[in-house]
Amino acid sequence: MAQDRPGTWFGFGFCGFGQALGSGRGHQVHSPEPLRTGDDICRVSASWSYTALVTREGCVKVSGSTSGAVGGCRDAWASERLLVVLRNGPESRAELLAWAPGSAPQGEPLWTRELGAEAEREGVPTGREIHAGLLPLLPGARAYLSPQPPFCRPLAPELRARRLELGAEHALLLGAAGQVFSWGKGRHGQLGHGTLEAELEPRPLEVLQGLPMAVVAAGGWHSLCVSEAGDIYIWGWNESGQLALPTRSLAEDEKMVPERALGLNGADSEVERTAGAEDEATAPFIAVQAFPALLDLPLGSDAVMASCGSRHTAVVTRKGELYTWGWGKYGQLGHKDAASLDRPCRVEYFIDKQLQVKAVTCGPWNTYVYAVEKGDS
């Protein structure tokens, strides 16, 4: 995912607090627009009301409900309760600084933490590569950040974490050998264990055993992973079509609802069946998918990376195309409208502009994309 040559970051979706997102005009952007920050951005971390941009020169710039900048940084992680930056501390030792968003990053930090020598030996992002960043997983993979106390939570060394993603109420961890673990609340099936029960500790997804994964992504209440072979597995809440499964809320005829039955079916999905007004046929809608479901992209495209918003999903293919689906009220799908979709749809902007997508990062209600001109690969 690293890129030596410069490309361009684009943004689309919600910007009601003035966060950097395309032109920044109005409260929403329906089609990808270049970020007009004037900085050479290497990473983006977006929360609901603000966005943190990390530049190649090590500056974190914050815009939206709060604004400011802090230098000497390698990474940043934004949430509505906490902004955390990873930067060079005294004697070039890495340290964490955390602020409440309302005071970030100009006031006094809520707390600071110096990272140990072991974390330094195991590597810390340099702050120059284009990638999703390491946070909230801490360098050394022995702990991770939480927006609620305790802010630094330990991880068992045997998990050998290489990536960790946080949803609204759950966590996903990718192990060194490609195993996927999940824990937290499971009322929307977001843990992928076939039930709606919570898990207090990281639990492996048995159904994915033997399938090495390369990417994990956590939405508000849904989850996704991409295998090393480029296959997509997705599960959790499907209220807005974010799983690319048929959803009641997007049904063409909302009047066809005289009867309804809910329950976990034999495939561990919560199914709504709606009787048709004319032929009394039943149409299944998936409300909750409690086990990972294999998802095929159009044209048999292989995925290489993914990111999830609160209720939308974005995937980059091996050819550098971007597909999005789910909730689209603020234009976060990038299809020039505010429609929601329960099927993967290619973002044609990047095709039309002859751009190859290299990275995607979703905020809760918006999407950021890094792309380069085709032919430069």
Residue 132 confidence (pLDDT) above 70: no
Q: In what order do the strands lie in the sheet with 355-362?
A: 28-34, 8-14, 366-373, 355-362
| Measured distance CA(349)–CA(347) in Å, rounded | 6
Contact residues for 1 (Cβ-Cβ < 8 A; gap 6+): 129, 130, 131, 132, 305, 358, 359
Pull the structure tokens for residue 272: 């709504």
- In angstroms, the Cα distances linking 161 to 4, 70, 123, 157, 330 are 26, 28, 13, 8, 34
Burial readout 80-108 (b: 16 or more C-beta within 10 A, e: otherwise): eebbbbbbbbeeeebebbbbebeebbeee
- In angstroms, the Cα distances linking 39 to 34, 61, 180 are 12, 9, 35
Contact residues for 7 (Cβ-Cβ < 8 A; gap 6+): 130, 358, 370, 371, 372, 373
| Measured distance CA(120)–CA(104) in Å, rounded | 26
Q: Are 50 and 78 in contact (CB under 8 A)?
A: yes
pLDDT in tens, 264-292: 555 567 666 544 444 445 558 999 999 99
Band (126; pLDDT cuts 50, 70, 90)? low
Contact residues for 110 (Cβ-Cβ < 8 A; gap 6+): 82, 98, 99, 100
Band (23; pLDDT cuts 50, 70, 90)? low
Pull the structure tokens for residue 238: 């499907």
Burial of 229 per CB tally in 10 Å (0-12, 13-18, 19+): exposed
Q: Strand 170-175 to strand 180-184: parallel, antiparallel, or no bridges (unpaired)?
A: antiparallel
Beta bridge partners of 78: 83
> One-letter amino acid identity for 97?
L
> One-letter amino acid identity for 315?
V
pLDDT in tens, 302-340: 999 999 999 999 999 999 999 999 999 999 999 999 999
Residues 232-252 have a mean pLDDT of 92
- In angstroms, the Cα distances linking 351 to 250, 254, 317, 323, 324 are 27, 34, 13, 11, 14
> Quick check: helix, strand or coil at residue 317?
strand
pLDDT in tens, 142-187: 999 999 999 999 999 999 999 999 999 999 999 999 999 999 999 9
Residue 130 confidence (pLDDT) above 50: yes
Q: Are 358 and 3 in contact (CB under 8 A)?
A: yes
Residues 47-56 have a mean pLDDT of 94
Residues 208-228 have a mean pLDDT of 97
Mean pLDDT score across all residues of the chain: 87
Band (260; pLDDT cuts 50, 70, 90)? very low
> One-letter amino acid identity for 78?
A
